Structure 1
Amino acid sequence: METFNLDARQLARIEAVHRGFLYQHLYAAACLFRAARSGVTHIVVENDEDVEVVLPDRRIYAQIKTRGSRLIFSDIEGALTRFDEIRAEHLAGRRSGACQFVIVSNTALGPDLAERAKNSAWPADVALVHPGCASPDAALPEPWETIGEAFEACRAAAETLPFSVLAPETLVWKLAGRILAASAGIEPNPNHTFVVDALPDLFEQLVVQLHDFPAPPLRYRPQEQEPALASAHQVRLVVGFSGAGKTSWVSQTALHATDRLAYYDVADISGPALASAVARELAARMFGSRGGTLGEILLPGASGTEVLFAIGRHLADDGLTATVVLDNAHRVAPGDIASLIGASQQLRFVLLAQPSPSIARLEATLGISAERLLGWSNETAAVEGASLGCRGDFADYERLLKLTAGLPLYVQNALKIAADSYDGSVDRLCTALEERTHIVETAQELILADVFDTFNDNERRAVAALSLSDVPLAQAEATTVLQRTFGIASADAAAAFRRLRSSGSIQIFGVDRFKIHDAIRPLGRAFLNVCGSPAVKTAQEAIRDLVMVALPKEHDRQRVFLLLRMFVALGNVKPLVEMATDELFHELGYMDEISAFLTEAAASPDIAAEDRFWALDGLVFAHFKDGDDTDIRSKLDRMDELIKANNLGQSERLAVGMKRMVFAARDKDVATVKRIMSELSRVLPQTPQHLRVAKYNYAHALFELGMMDECVSGTLDLIAEYYDLLGLRLADVMGNNPDKIFPLLKGENHTDDLKHLADSLDLQSKAVKATGNNPGLAPIHAMKFYSMAQSLDSFVRVGQELVDDFIGRNDYVGARDVIERNLMPTIMDLKLAGRVIPVRSQYAVVLAYCGAFDAADAEMTRLAPYESGLDARGQWELRNQRALIAHLKDNPPPPQWQMPPKLGGPAT
């Protein structure tokens, strides 16, 4: 999930505060590790001072300071005043023993503070300690500069403890969590104090909590919106296929949980014995070292439920809770789990299960809803791919996540196959998986084959036919596909859907829409191939037909993609060519889906000449949008040849003529532009629609020729004409969002006119900027109309240009607002994969202009794994953005533009 932040400075302050707390907790942990050999009796955290070290004859008060620059006197002035008050308490005898004060800093002293510390007036009992400076007492560790160094020092200290079954880093994080709880006055250390004599028991307790948990992965990558392990809910049910990362999530989050924890794999425990087995193990684990407590709990003849009740009572007496993880819970009867859970409110349960019919019964019996881990994000998959030597851009990883459902094991395995067998290309691997041409079986196929084998014939056929659709279908639509493909009756189809839903193979959306789970779809596609090419073709035709019927009523971007894939798979040239000549088709970003197919169709002698012409026209339009002139001339020549050889009509002559005129203008060929203009004027139909299109193309040609004043004049007339056609006034658009403008439109079917008005505004603003003037609100109004016309590609492009305009005027806050309010939500909500990296890298630069350099660096770091998968231009852009951010650090930009006071800005 993408995150945004309205106030970078506030975020930086928050992060600094939490870094300070973590540094302080790790410093306290280091004190605990060396306490016994230093003669310390108690360690107190967050009391009068951050850390207080108590020895038999004295008490050391340590104030911990973390700073990004050298420590100065104002940083510690308040601490020195508090030291005076504490010192007075000791002198008055209200506190026993001597007192000693230490200010611990992660940075060196500033010049002024260093001089003050040397002065004879400096208190003799106050020491200033920083990295590289010897500690004034063996009980205090030497400070570190960074969190990483602090953790490494604690890890090294933990390594000396005799707990070989537990990784030292695990013990450090668990201890830091316990210190955090003590700092908040939470049990079991509500008085903020750790007794040194009790440390062996504490360390042993932390070890026991994790002793039986599965080992976490050596390199764990979190899933999207990953939940915490412990929660206020008494019971939670986490469901996912094998490979979804449930056990890895549990073992990793257990490292950072402060609750008492226990883990049991209940796969081989009979239901009636469950309560007894869990109860006795839990009692021994939690109370085995507490004298007679264990005997009180494990009374002779006590049942499992009674033991659990006793455990809960003792936990309640101590104000504690415990979290019990039960793995493979789907293999135990819901009634047996219910009796286990009902024994005590102090025990919380996390049930890990695989999709199966028992899940619905568990939900009903326990009155809960299953949770699902959401899998890896695109960024996480890209980081994993980069670590394995793979390369791919955002769109490539988006394809991979669809093929694997984002489940960690499946993604990781697929990337290893890409690295080993496809030269690291994520694109090539995805193509092979989609076309079923890969030769190495994936872990996904091997693991889920067992699930697929449990299905009956109708269920397998349902998965097979519906695996062609990656968008949800209504039940009636899905039933139609099964009836046409395999002749399955409605009642039998409904029965298959019910069983597939209970097995987790179907994902439900809304009331009655569903699709085959992404992880299962590859197996269904393979089975459909086994059923033979006639079945494949029939299923494709059935999906094509139902999408074509529904699309005019409910425009759905993902359904358009699905329809395109069916057209391509079935070789339906005519509708593809018709869509390729539609401007909105290009605006919605569909061209990449079919460009190769159109190229093939344009070259095929078996395709009608008219269709070949319009296939070329669509490709040329795409080249113009991409700014790619390399192959335009040859395609225009082929279009002319088709017109002459086949005596094509006026529409074809006008289409190629307009494009030749703009192409010649790009070449600065004035003579050719004038000639084509003259030719087109003679044959152009004198209808308002044709004249408006011609005016726009003439203005576009003038722009390419550098005749900016003439271009501005031409677009002014055109904009006025479109406003009149739509029934709008400028006042209707000023300050209003599209939802307020739509009701004012005159007539119906506005999409083309809205798009052409936006094009005219965009062209005018470019021409005005080229003359060195400010285009005013034209770009903003162009964005509004592009949005209303669903011209998403142009909406994002103009938005990015507007961001650059704001930066050019030193309005960095305005630039950031455009990206955060308009561009980011659009590209993420509509999954405009091709635009994600350009917009996010531009966002990083805007953050740098706003002074949020840490956030800018973090954003560029997140984009780094995609870099090797970009084309040469994309890699060049990322390098340039990175270099610009570095430049801005050393050369700050001009101050933020301020609105003049007479317009509402701050008074000078």
Structure 2
Amino acid sequence: MENFNLDARQLARIEAVHRGFLYQHLYAAACLFKAAASGVTHVVVENDEDVELVLPGHRIYAQIKTRGSRLIFSDVEGALGRFAQIRDEHSAGRRSGTCQFVVVANTPLGPELAERAVKANWPRDVTLVYPGSGTPAAPLPEPWPTVDDAFDACRAAAESMPLGILAPETLVWKIAGRVMAASAGVEPNPGHAFVVDELPALFEQLVVQLQDFPAPPLRYRPQDKEPPLVSDQRVRLVVGFSGAGKTSWVSQTALHASNRLAYYDVADISGPALASSVARELAARMCGSRGGKLGEILLPGASGTEILIAIGRHLAEDGLTATVVLDNAHRVPAADLVPLVCASPQLRFLLLAQPNASTARIEATLGISSEPLLGWSNETAAAEGLSLGCHGDYTDYERVLKLTAGLPLYVQNALKIAAGSYEGDIDRLCTALEERTHVVETVQELILADVFETFNENERRAVGALSLSDVPLSQAEATTILKRTFDMEPAAAAGAFRRLRTTGSIQIFGVDRFKVHDAIRPLGRAFLVDCGADALKAAREVIRDLVMTALPLDHDRQRVFLLLRMLVALGNVKPLVQMATDELFHELGYMEEISAFLVEASASEAVAPEDRFWALDGLVFAHFKEGDDTDIRNKLDRMDALVRDNDLGLTERLAVGMKQMIFAARNKDVATVTKTMAELSRVLPQTPQHLRVAKYNYAHALFELGMMGECVAGTLDLVVEYYDELGLRLSDVMGNNPDKIWPLLKGDHSHTDDLKHLADSLDLQSKALKASGGNPGLAPIHAMKFYSMAQSLDSFVRVGQKLVDDFIGRNDYIGARDVIERNLMPTITGLKLAGRIIPVRSQYAVVLAYCGAFDAADAEMARLEPYEGGLDARGQWELRNQRSLIAQLRENPPPPQWQMPSQLGGPAR
């Protein structure tokens, strides 16, 4: 067959980057199903056009277009130019036969294009087809609106084929996978062409391969960052507990792989017989229908290794490789795998195993490292929860993943329990599992109980005590915990750690840091509780002490959360109250962990008045920060009463006075603000630090009262003072990132508070300027820099979101997208600021819409939909509002993108 290509470089680019395009691949698959009956001899994909159908003396060129709105002329203009070139090739005789051109679209034509297509100057050999338009040639299927419709049509075509027990949807996915491989110029169709006469053999080959594999789940949800089934690596080992989804993953990915595949469950095959059993089955599967080749391979008396060598030789002759999946590989001695996997470089092996000592021996014997399946992501768990009628926000699903290690079977079972026993409330389910008050035993507990039963007493104690920590600990820390909890000697502890590592029950991080696997932790926690209250308390106390000791050197966010949980569980009021009064504590998102505890402590007569006061102070600060006035007046009155009734000191008087002043300003109570200002001025210590804090609070009160000019003046003075205190000039900050600013700070002491307060002053100044109709200039950007340097992450994200809105307001959509992609998204995902993830991502969807990326915007909002039911009323309103705005932008595009004036370096006009 003649195989033409106008531009070899274009073909090379296509082969390098062609990925996905599922609608197009399914359309090509539909053409393959129709080919034999319609006289087509070859189907070519991604050559000069997306799909080319070759008939005797005739060739049809089809360009596939998928759009979210009606097709317009600019969508097809490029295709018309290529069609003209191809037409010239046929006219000049460089290509034989006649030609026909078709643009296949999933949406109807726009009015202007429809008008053009019926004019006399429209090329008569070019047809535009779309759903409902019919088809201009028998070999061409009529297009469908969606990928789902395309798949249904292909499945219906596959159902008419004599495929025995093979599910038609399985064949569709395999054919689509072959089309994708051919589009990229990958074996076994490097020429991009399918020969129709060879299709029966191809279908038979796929049937034989796929009948080997277990049936995939009816509704498969992919795991996070799934590895490919086929790779260039000769031998791979994928490890996971029962319930990790190994078999489901391999059976699902086999549907979309175009390579030769075979699957064997080796659980019941004896080690010495492994090579022979696999070799003979593999020969029959791969060469059974290829004339005399099977006889050449299965020679009388040939050993399993010799048969595998012969299979490899025949694969090499055809330029092919094959991937063999061995399930339950941990049931086979490692030494018996060696002759199997080393027989031929044309045979690649994927071993599926559960973590145990045998798996560790396989790694050592074959010189490979295991690959874990990472489990479901938060989004996937939320989508599954929605399908089961559950409701929860991002944080709730993060708790589910912690409790189940994200292993699909365990997550799914936990969500089913939530739906059946907790009215779909994910928060209630997680609380019950964490507090061990659930009454329905989970699949996770049932399956992993068998693993836990194989541990000796020291190993159980190690898992039990360390199960309280969800962050990696050093071996020295873990050994200390076991010594103080169970009086276990270091040598015994080390022995337990070694054995637990071989079973996969502990995960290693770096050189010597490890933690109990999340899937095992619930069983360890149950064991520790059964050991009695003294053991539980001792384990909590030693973890608390270790984390507090290391915290000044290792201010790891997850370790802080661990410390907070230990303090709450032990009822340690004072350190918690001290933390709650630290502004950075609120900025890093820790308040949510202890707010309920602070509410309880603030109301308890058993707690010292001073501690009750500061517990209330932390709660009021959180209310102010979130813009929530709920119960603030009551809390402030209680704080004032504690000061008066217990003769508390000046620090307490200033703290409650400043907050009373801000609250009064919010309520436009000028008299109270004036009175409080005067009272505070009389007692305020005349130190620079106290005066700056007071000036900021006065400026904040002025802002709340609507006195924007006075607020701007006050914050301007503050900004100058803080710059001087830090030893900075404005030119030091202009155009520089934090890493360039750090070395310029005055002295060598910590400037965290001053950096935070400078950022606060810049932020307040920006808000006041905008409220009065002014332009804040670079103040918001500089505030973000200083918030970043002070690790004030919550304010960093908050100001960043407002900056994004500012960019949108002046039609700089590219700038808005840059801020959100380069600054906000990495911060919230990297530090798992769960409370900010949904607001920032929904804002990102809107920014994408402003940039014209409507499909990406819709996809982002679709990924957030499962969380909607778990949000409060305000959060649900925000999502609905963002969704509505995206729809409006699609129908009524925004003004053009702002362009920098040419005199400032923008494009010349």
How high is the TM-score relative to the length of structure 2? 0.94
The corresponding residue for 1:7 is none
**1:800 aligns to 2:804 (yes or no):** no
Q: Read off the aligned partner of 1:171 and give its amino acid letter.
A: L
Alignment of 1:462-481 (within 5 A): 462-481=462-481
> Does 2:575 align with 1:575?
yes
Residues 852 and 136 (structure 1 numbering): CA distance in 2 closer, same or farther, change over 3 Å? closer
Q: CA deviation at 1:900?
A: 2.0
Q: Which amino acid aligns with 2:698?
A: Y
Query: Structure 2 CA distance, aligned partners of 1:884 and 1:509?
Result: 44
1:66 correspondence with 2:61: no
Is the 1:73–1:113 contact (alpha carbons within 8 Å) kept by the matching residues of 2?
no
**Equivalent pair of 1:49/1:61 in contact (CA under 8 Å):** no
Distance in 2, Cα, partners of 1:763 & 1:193: 65
State the partner residue of 1:306: 306
- Residue 258 of structure 1 corresponds to which residue in structure 2? 258
Distance 1:48 1:578 in 2: 70
What letter is aligned with 1:596?
A
Contact 1:30-1:157 within 8 A present in 2 as well? yes
Counterpart of 1:825 in structure 2 is 826
The farther-off stretch of 175-184 and 509-518 is: 175-184
Question: 1:4 matched to which residue of 2?
Answer: none
Name the structure 2 match of 1:640: 640
Equivalent in the alignment of 1:101: 100
1:424/1:21 CA distance change after superposition, 3 Å: closer
Give, in angstroms, the shift of residue 516 of structure 1: 0.6
Matched, 1:546 2:546: yes
Separation (CA, whole Å) in 1 of partners of 2:227 and 2:907? 45
Within 5 A, what are the aligned runs for 1:310-329? 310-329=310-329
C-alpha change, 1:40 and 1:681, in structure 2 (3 Å) is: closer
Greater shift, 27-36 or 154-163, is seen at 27-36
User: What residue number does 1:813 align with?
Assistant: 814
Q: Which residue of 1 aligns with 2:624?
A: 624
Change (3 A) 1:135 1:630: closer
Aligned to 1:653: 653
Displacement after TM superposition at 1:193 (Å): 4.5
Aligned match of 1:904: 905
Label 1:201 to 1:492 Cα distance change in 2 as closer, same or farther (>3 A): same
Give yes or no for the alignment of 1:691 onto 2:695: no
Q: Is the 8 A contact 1:102 1:129 kept in 2?
A: no
1:901 Cα offset (Å): 2.2
Aligned partner of residue 471 in structure 2, secondary structure: coil
Task: Give the 3-state SS of the residue equivalent to 1:236 in structure 2.
Answer: strand
SS at match of 2:61: strand
Instruction: Quote the residue 1:517 is aligned against.
Output: 517
1:555/1:140 CA distance change after superposition, 3 Å: closer
1:283 is aligned to 283
Deviation at 1:591, TM superposition (A): 0.7
1:613 Cα deviation after fit: 1.0
Mapped to 1, the partners of 2:40 and 2:902 lie a distance apart of: 64
Aligned partner of residue 668 in structure 2, secondary structure: coil
- Which residue is 2:90 aligned to? 86
Is contact 2:577–2:598 with CA below 8 Å preserved after alignment? yes
Cα deviation 1:786-826 (Å, max 9, x = unaligned): 11111111111111111112222222221111111111111
- TM-superposed deviation, 1:642: 1.4
Following TM superposition, by how much is the alpha carbon of 1:136 offset from its aligned partner in structure 2, in angstroms?
Answer: 4.7
Question: What is the DSSP-based 3-state SS (H/G/I as helix, E as strand, rest coil) of the residue aligned with 2:508?
Answer: strand
Q: 1:783 to 1:904 in 2, by over 3 A?
A: same
Query: Per the alignment, do residues 264 and 757 of structure 1 end up closer, same or farther by CA in structure 2, a change over 3 Å counting?
Result: same
Contact 1:177 1:258 in 2 (8 A): yes
Q: Is the 1:754–1:785 contact (alpha carbons within 8 Å) kept by the matching residues of 2?
A: yes
Separation (CA, whole Å) in 1 of partners of 2:494 and 2:613? 46
Instruction: Report the Cα distance in structure 1 between the residues aligned to 2:165 and 2:824, rounded to whole angstroms.
Output: 50
Structure 1 799/14 Cα, relative in aligned 2: closer, same or farther at 3 Å? Answer: farther
Contact 1:796 1:823 survives alignment (8 Å):
yes
In structure 2, relative to structure 1, the CA distance for the partners of 1:281 and 1:718 (3 Å cut) is: same
1:399-452: CA deviations, max 9, x gaps?
Answer: 111111111111111111111111111111111111111111111111111111
Asked if structure 1 preserves the Cα contact closer than 8 Å seen for 2:18 and 2:183, the reply is no
Letter of the structure 1 residue corresponding to residue 413 of structure 2 = N
CA–CA separation in structure 2 for the residues paired with 1:899 and 1:140: 49
2:776 and 2:113 map into 1 onto residues whose CA distance is: 54
For residue 5 of structure 2, what is the aligned residue in structure 1? none
Moved more, 393-402 or 531-540: 393-402
- Displacement of 1:384 in angstroms is 0.8
CA distance, structure 1, for counterparts of residue 887 and residue 122 of structure 2: 42
1:493-892 map, 5 Å: 493-747=493-747, 748-892=749-893
Question: How far is 1:889 from its partner?
Answer: 1.8
The answer to whether structure 1 residue 216 and structure 2 residue 216 are counterparts is yes
Check whether the contact 1:19–1:147 (CA below 8 A) recurs between aligned residues: no
CA deviations over 1:802-861 (Å, ceiling 9, x no partner): 111222222222111111111111111111000101111111111112222111111111
Judged with a 3 Å threshold, the aligned counterparts in structure 2 of structure 1 residues 329 and 149 are, in CA distance, closer, same or farther, namely: same
Q: Which amino acid aligns with 2:334?
A: P
Q: What's the secondary structure of 1:851's corresponding residue?
A: coil
SS in structure 2 at match of 1:256: coil
State the shift of 1:62 in Å.
Answer: 3.2
User: Distance between the aligned counterparts of 2:690 and 2:269, measured in 1?
Assistant: 78
> What CA distance in whole angstroms lies between the structure 2 residues aligned with 1:573 and 1:497?
34
Q: Which residue of 2 aligns with 1:406?
A: 406
Alignment CA distance shift 1:901-1:266 (3 Å): same
Quote the offset at 1:711 in angstroms: 1.2
Task: Flag the 1:850–1:655 CA change in 2: closer, same or farther, 3 A.
Answer: same
1:418 aligns with 2:422: no
Check conservation: 2:83, 2:101, Cα contact below 8 A: no
Secondary structure of 2:629's aligned partner: coil
> Partners in 1 of 2:281 and 2:689 — Cα distance?
81
Residues 330, 354 of structure 2: 8 Å contact kept: yes
How far is the alpha carbon of 1:188 from its aligned partner? Answer: 3.7
Q: Find the counterpart in structure 2 of residue 362 from structure 1.
A: 362
C-alpha spacing 1:696/1:491, structure 2 compared with 1 (3 Å):
same
Percent identity of equivalent pairs: 78
> Matches of residues 445-460 of structure 1 in structure 2 within 5 Å?
445-460=445-460
Q: Secondary structure at the match of 1:685?
A: coil
Read off the aligned partner of 1:793 and give its amino acid letter. D
SS class of match (1:89) = coil
Structure 2 counterpart of 1:400, one-letter code: V
Compute the TM-score of the two structures, normalised by the length of structure 1: 0.94
Distance (whole Å) between structure 2 residues aligned to residue 834 and residue 793 of structure 1: 9
Instruction: For 1:839, give the aligned amino acid.
Output: V
- Secondary structure of the 2:507 match is strand
- Whether the 8 Å contact between 2:23 and 2:66 is mirrored in structure 1 is no
SS at match of 2:268: coil
What amino acid sits opposite 1:75 in the alignment? A
Q: Pick which of 691-700 and 566-575 moved more.
A: 691-700
Q: Is the 1:20–1:65 Cα contact (8 Å) retained in structure 2?
A: no
| 5+ residue gaps, structure 2 | 1-12
SS at structure 2 position matched to 1:101: strand
Change (3 A) 1:418 1:714: same
Counterparts in 2 of 1:118 and 1:657: CA distance versus 1, 3 Å = closer
Q: Which moved more, 1:476-485 or 1:132-141?
A: 132-141
Relative to structure 1, is the Cα distance of residues 285 and 535 closer, same or farther in structure 2, using a 3 angstrom cutoff? Answer: same
- Residue 770 of structure 1 and its aligned partner are, at CA, apart by 1.4
Deviation at 1:725, TM superposition (A): 1.5
| Distance in 1 of aligned mates of 2:342 and 2:822 | 48
CA contact (8 A) 1:259 1:322 kept: yes
Which amino acid in structure 2 is aligned with residue 78 of structure 1?
R
Moved more, 68-77 or 332-341: 68-77
**Secondary structure class of the residue paired with 2:375:** coil
Would the alpha carbon gap of residues 115 and 74 (structure 1) be closer, same or farther in structure 2, given more than 3 Å must change?
farther
Cα displacement (A) at 1:523: 0.5
User: Could you tell me which residue of structure 1 aligns to residue 10 of structure 2?
Assistant: none
Q: Which amino acid aligns with 1:470?
A: D
1:169-180 matches, within 5 Å, as 169-180=169-180
